[in-house]
Amino acid sequence: MCAEADVIIAEPYLKYGDEPYTQQYGGCGEKGQYIHFTPNFIRNSSLTQIYGPKEKVFVHEWAHLQWGVFDEYNQLVPYYLSNGKYEAT
């Protein structure tokens, strides 16, 4: 898909379902291609129980798009030791 818009609302892809995502091909710090939301995510308020408030999801995805930020959370190991100090992932 070649996108010219920063935010696309389109039917889900099998890989992601209704999960919002930002298409990124570059490295950290490089702008992404677009943010993808599904019509179901936009219309269905029950999905906030899974993904969180829509405004927070948008800001999260915008950081991926604009600044090439990658997710760095880990449910299995939520903290790591760095220079003798515990840090959150």
Active-site residue (options: 4, 61, 72, 87): 61
- Distance from C-alpha of 13 to C-alpha of 72, rounded to nearest angstrom: 23
CA 6 to chain centroid: 13
Task: Assign 8 to helix, strand or coil.
Answer: strand
Please indicate whether residue 61 is annotated as part of the active site: yes
Instruction: Indicate left, alpha or beta for 34 from its phi (over 0: left) and psi (-120 to 50: alpha).
Output: beta
Give me the residues paired with residue 21 across strands.
Answer: 36
Q: Which residues are catalytic?
A: 61
